[in-house]
A and B are shown apart, each in its own frame.
Chain A
Amino acid sequence: MSQETTIRENLETHIDEHAHDHGHDHHDHHQSFISKYIFSTDHKVIAKQFLITGIIWAIVGGGLSVLFRIQLGYPDADLNWMRPFLGKWITPEGHIAPEFYNALITMHGTILVFFVLTAGLSGTFSNYLIPLMVGARDMASGFINMLSYWFFFLSSVVMAASFFLATGPASGGWTAYPPLNALPQAATGSVLGVDYWLLSIVLFIVSVLLGGLNYITTVINLRTRGMKMFRLPLPIWAFFLTAVIGLLSFPVLLSAGVLMLFDRNLGTSFYLDQIYIGGEALANAGGSPILYQHLFWFLGHPEVYIIILPAMGIVSEVLSVHSRKPIFGYTAMVYSLLAITVLSFIVWAHHMFVTGMNPFIGSIFVIFTLIIAVPSAVKVFNWLTTLWRGNIKLNPAMLFAIGFVSLFISGGVTGIFLGNSSIDVELHDTYFVVAHFHLVMGVAAFFGMFAGVYHWFPKMFGRHLNSTLGYIHFWGTIICAYLIFYPMHFEYMLPRRYPTHAGFDTFGMFAQLNEFITIAAIASFAFQLMFVFNFFYSIWYGRKLRVQNPYHANTLEWTTPIRPGHGNWDGEIPTVYRWAYDYSKHGRDFIPQTEPLSAYELEHGEHGDESDSDIIQHEKHNG
């Protein structure tokens, strides 16, 4: 840890030297390729590492969903052409082997939830935006930040390696419930796959912890002069609270994972009791599989807020900038984020209504679950009222932000159904649930991420993404998302995680619907590949960013040079005098945070004697 202090001190002295002979932004000129791009301690480079690793995982995770959608949509198709890639996982009849189908959905969930929507979303934007938006040279500890990425990378390597195991990767669902996942003899994926899965998740937890410590500390300690907490842009509030949630919930998954590793490898029975498997009665006694579910969902539920809060923050910023209006109800937005943070810890058992828990306890969790709808609705109304009569710029970032609001509403409504234990008993583990969470936290979080990528791409790479491809990407994705998940609600009686429904006459009526959903899923995946092309092409060949502040935005990241070096600002760090949302105020389109209040101007949230019109008259008078 001394090393990190030294690095930090070196960085500061380095920057100070340059601050004196200002005009030079080549802070990196002594650095080799390895220290600049691979083992970098610059938060901007680490953010890009997270983003690009996340994109690679998103292609893998999305690709897996295409495979199992093909199985669901065309259960009779001959898939022998996949044999060169998948080998023995294609049965002699040319179908996807049931064990492999289970592995596909397990890995799809794990990869998307942890690697893409946690590391890829929070890791990217917290790293990139926190120092730039609060006005800091870098994260509190660049060294720990670098470790955070490399632990994520290690975790990725372990998870990727599990695909090449002879017995296949983990296949017991992304929730890894015991006893299926606690006994190596219970399933092929459980022979070794779950050990890899658990090891990978433990490394991932370390990564989240190291990252979160930095995000929290940077927001608390390194805000520039004048950057009060209630002047912070909303994404920073969201990233801050996301890190708090992660820091409090992930360690519990660590405990759960350690207990599971013991059960699997050392013969303990923390989660096992009275098991009879393969004609053999096991000696394990005294454990409880429900204990694992409690521990898991104590992380698992806050995890969905870890995914959605950063998207909410990004969307709030993008909607405000491209509506040229202040965000509606800034303070309410902050308090609703806080309320969601607190409530996220006391609703976990709504995932467990059918475990046989006491209905009275269930009803308490129902109440808390439904209360979460209140801050969520506050946010939704504030986004809509931000758009109301705004001077809306419909660029791809804005479209994705609006798409986020749409998806969040559509998916959130069904959350109110599912939060009621009496209805959940019917709908539990059906495609209704799949449709619900994909809309509200899967696709919606992706839309938040896309809004962020389109909005901050010019800042990240000094070039613009291609807008035409961006529009096609948006419309293709939102139409496909609804074509996939809207009809899925009709499959409210179809159980999840079945590789085929062929054995059940009742489910025959869904065959064509499943085919339809599969076609939409494949189309949706194709649109994402187009985005990936746009992303990488634009890094090198996109239209160059020629102005410092292309969106006329107020926040601090747009006061840095077009291609900021390590240390972000060439000269002194700017001082902040106002909140981030002074758009269309007193007849001015935007007023950056670095501009002092004029003599007669009131800051946001202040109440004075003068009416607004007096101030405008005064400003006009003074020219």
Chain B
Amino acid sequence: METTVQTNAKELWSGGDSPFKVSYGKIMMWYFLISDTFSFAGLLISYGAIRLSQPAHNPEIANSWPDPNEVFAAVPFVHGHYPLVFVTFMTFTLILSSVTMVRAVQEGHNMNRSGVLFWLSLTILGGLTFVGSQAFEWSHLIHEGMTLKGNPFGAAGFGQLFFLITGFHGFHVSIGVLLNSWAFLMTFFGAFHRRGHYEMIEKLGLYWHFVDLVWVFVFLAFYLL
């Protein structure tokens, strides 16, 4: 293919070239993420609609919306009431894993295989820690009686929406961990190095940051508001 050097912004759209100067794979990932934003938006809007139709938090009313400080107060291996401490740790881990992902992408640009392996393994570790913490939190809440059918802290809808939406998010994180592990193996066996670029790490990075970003909204909905 002819690679004509085009500097004029107007010429970028004139065909024969990528107007955004990115590969088809990255464009696909971007559009997929926009699309996935809408599935999360659908769920979070459902959360808003159901929450607003029910009484706000009020200790006098049995089925009012629960107070997150009461629901999320447990920390593993520690006795006592520590509201939102554990979820802060989870959120911190996930955001830190985004930082390590950025480093992995950067090492990929430098074609530094061992650097990619190092930072990618930390990212995978962060993801696993997050999913593991979520599993702990779920089992603890189920133990306390919050299930899809009942909720001792207040409105049953809180528990249902919590398990559905954090589950949907946790599913995304798990997929991300699997994809990152696959990319780790590909890097380990030098597949990307032979290909001459580490763009796959970049695409997975986009996905990983997206999953992080969505967590901010999920976190906001269930733990803060």
Contacts and interface: CB of A to CB of B under 8 A. Distances in A.
Interface of A: 1-2, 5, 134-135, 140-141, 144, 209, 212-214, 216-218, 220-229, 231, 247-252, 254-256, 258-259, 262, 266-270, 283, 285-288, 291, 294-295, 298, 575-576
B142 interface: no
Nearest to A222: B24
Given A229-B13, A285-B63, A141 B46 contact: no
A247 B34 contact: yes
B35 A286 contact: no
Contacts of A249: 38
Given A2-B200, A258-B164, A248 B34 contact: yes
B180 to A, nearest CB: 13
B19 interface: yes
Contacts of B203: 1
B14 interface: yes
Contacts, number: 141
A294 B28 CA distance: 28
B28 A251 contact: no
B156 A286 contact: yes
A251 B35 contact: yes
A225 B18 CA distance: 11
B56 to A, nearest CB: 14
A214 B35 CA distance: 13
A209 to B, nearest CB: 6
Contacts of B28: 140-141, 144, 213-214, 217
Given A213-B32, A223-B15, A226-B16, A251 B24 contact: no
A251 B168 CA distance: 13
Contact of B46 (A144, A209, A221, A295): A295
Contacts of A229: 13
Contacts of B224: none
B14 A226 contact: yes
Contacts of B161: 270
Nearest to B164: A262
B155 A267 contact: no
Contact of B42 (A140, A213, A295, A576): A295
A269 B156 contact: yes
A217 B36 CA distance: 17
Contacts of A214: 28
B178 interface: no
Contacts of B50: 270, 286-288, 291
Most chain B CB atoms below 10 A, which of A2, A216, A268, A575: A268
Contact of A213 (B31, B37, B40, B200): B31
B214 interface: no
Contacts of A283: 149
A227 B15 contact: yes
Given A141-B28, A224-B16, A225-B17, 16 more contacts: A2-B186, A2-B200, A5-B25, A140-B24, A213-B28, A217-B27, A223-B16, A224-B15, A226-B14, A226-B15, A247-B31, A258-B164, A262-B164, A268-B164, A270-B160, A294-B49
A226 B11 CA distance: 9
B18 A2 contact: no
B39 A225 contact: no
Most chain A CB atoms below 10 A, which of B14, B28, B155: B28
B139 interface: no
A225 B53 contact: no
B49 A288 contact: yes
11 contacts: A1-B200, A140-B28, A213-B28, A217-B27, A225-B2, A231-B15, A268-B148, A288-B50, A291-B49, A295-B45, A576-B15
A252 B37 CA distance: 9
B43 interface: yes
If over half of B's interface residues share one DSSP class (helix, strand or loop), that class is named, otherwise mixed; here it is helix
Contacts of B43: 255, 258-259
B160 A262 contact: yes
A1 B156 CA distance: 41
B32 A209 contact: yes
Contact of B24 (A221, A259, A294, A298): A221
A216 B200 CA distance: 20
Contact of B20 (A2, A220, A256): A220
Most chain A CB atoms below 10 A, which of B19, B31, B34, B53: B31
Interface string B138-181: 00000000001100000111001100100010000000000000
Contacts of A250: 35
B41 interface: yes
Nearest to B24: A140
Given A255-B43, A267-B148, A285 B160 contact: no
6 nearest interchain CB pairs? A255-B42, A225-B16, A251-B39, A227-B15, A140-B24, A223-B15
Contacts of B31: 212-213, 216-217, 247
B191 interface: yes
Contacts of B35: 209, 212-213, 247-248, 250-251
Contacts of B110: none
B54 interface: yes
Contacts of B148: 262, 266-268
A267 to B, nearest CB: 5
Contacts of A254: 39, 42
Most chain A CB atoms below 10 A, which of B19, B20, B25, B35: B35
Given A216-B31, A286-B63, A576-B15, A259 B39 contact: no
B16 A258 contact: no
A220 B12 CA distance: 11
B15 to A, nearest CB: 4
